[in-house]
Amino acid sequence: MEAPVAAAGRAGEASPASSTMFGRMPSGVVDHRLVASPGGVLTSSLIAKAANKSMEELSNPAYSAAKAAYQGVPGAYSEVAARKACPDFDPLPCDQFEVAFQALSQWMAERAVLPIENSLGGSIHAVYDLLIRYRLHIIGETSLAINHCLVALPGTAKSDLKRVMSHPQALAQCDGYLRRMAVVKEAVDDTAGAAQIVARQGLQGVGAICSRRAAELYGLDVLEEGIQDVKDNVTRFIVLSRDPLVTSESDSRTYKTSIVFSLQPGPGQLFKALSVFALRDIDLAKVESRPMRTNPIVQIPSQDGSSFTRQNFNYMFYVDFVGSLQEVRCQNALRHLQETAPFLRVLGSYPMDTELGTMSSDDPAMMQNMSRYN
């Protein structure tokens, strides 16, 4: 049996002296949780303004509730995921993915819940890129069944629609349905935002693709439900925190660990990297690659070293594997990987989600949870 490696689970992470552990706020940091305006959508400009406010201006206790940041407006699928994953936190809508990262990093939220992949549309690359830029930790995941509805102003018939707006992924997931309708597709920031635009601007002849929850929230009629081309449509979300999840050896839940690493150019490098898991019977749940933003191009030398034969992208590799950092085999797999990976960072080790959430109003527990905030 291999010996445990204490440092492996901390690869690439900040040292304890430079990180905020167990929710303690570092000295000199303003508690920005007090400035998240209830009912509003957080933007990067609001975050910048909040940094300049005095503590007297931020003393309103109505702003002090712990929050879970998500991208979108109320009624978005991400809001439901945030409520499912963090039922004890008030949802904090943000206009962009990065604003949710900023809100968590700057203490305006205690959690952030963001989509990472969809069963039809694939990976959410913007979120993967932000995981590298911000030193936050994945502490959980949650999955949500996506059920798209075609909605419009009250009294509108489906045949009246000339234009349909929604998030680009929602439009893509309903592409066949929309082509049969012969309508113009218009992309907006999120599904619930599309419903909000139709309702607030009173747009005649314009529909939106969103959840039933969003339609009810903005007073729109549901013209048809379940309009996605493939009915089995699931989005997986990750839960972020400023601190890593602290686990114990007695925890019997199945864990997943997410890492990101780079490799030296050369034949067989990816095979060697992934073999450290196969050698220890560790199951890989996901492998994703993204081009590096800095130094994206690498030249490959010829076999005799006299010339360069071609240019390739430099990649970062994201891997999810089944196992906890408490397990010796996982610790040693990471130690083995460090021997060949110039860069290795553990993004988080967290319990796997085993319950599929829904947006259905037939789900009493979910709707009761939603009604607490209305």
CATH assignment of the domain containing 125: 3.40.190.10
Whether residues 88 and 170 fall in one domain: no
Determine whether 43 is an active site residue.
Answer: no
pLDDT digits (tens, 9 = 90+) for 176-194: 999 999 999 999 988 999 9
Q: Report d(CA 289, CA 163) in Å as an integer.
A: 36
Predicted local confidence at residue 62, as pLDDT: 45
pLDDT at 5: 41
Report if residue 262 sits inside a domain: yes
Among candidate residues 156, 235, 257, 261, the one labeled active-site is: 235
Tell me, yes or no, whether 194 and 257 share the same domain.
no
* Cβ neighbourhood burial of 165 (10 Å; 0-12, 13-18, 19+): buried
- HSE toward the beta carbon, residue 131, CA cutoff 13 A: 30
The 3-state DSSP class for residue 41 equals: coil
Q: Does the pLDDT of residue 360 top 50, yes or no? A: no
Of 101, 237, 261, 321, which one is the catalytic site residue? Answer: 237
pLDDT in tens, 114-133: 999 998 888 999 999 999 99
Task: Give Cα separations from 366 to 33, 71, 116 (angstroms).
Answer: 26, 19, 22
Specify the pLDDT at position 296.
Answer: 65
Domain count, the chain: 3
Strands 221-225 and 149-152: antiparallel
Domain span including residue 227: 149-232
pLDDT, one tens digit per residue, over 135-149 is 999 999 999 999 999
Residue 153 lies in a domain: yes
The answer to the question of residue 140 being in a domain is yes
Q: What is the CA 192 to chain-centroid distance, rounded?
A: 17
Q: Note whether 182 and 279 are same-domain residues.
A: no
pLDDT of residue 121: 82
Reported as type and span, the H/E element at residue 233 is: none
Asked if residue 6 belongs to a domain, the reply is no
Is 311 within a domain?
yes
Specify whether 249 is located in the same domain as 340: yes
Q: Are 192 and 79 a contacting pair, CB within 8 Å?
A: yes
129 and 102: one domain? Answer: yes
Neighbours of 73 (CB within 10 A): 25
Smallest CA-to-CA distance from 174 within 222, 208, 126 is with 208
Confidence of residue 357 (pLDDT cuts 50, 70, 90): low
Concerning whether 254 is annotated as a catalytic residue, the answer is: no
Query: Does 332 map to a domain?
Result: yes
Check whether residue 254 and residue 343 sit in a common domain. yes
CATH number, domain with residue 260: 3.30.70.260
Phi, psi angles (nearest 5°) of residue 207: -110, 170
Q: Cα–Cα distance between 347 and 13 in angstroms, integer?
A: 9
Q: Which among 182, 166, 86 is positioned nearest to 121, based on CA atoms?
A: 166
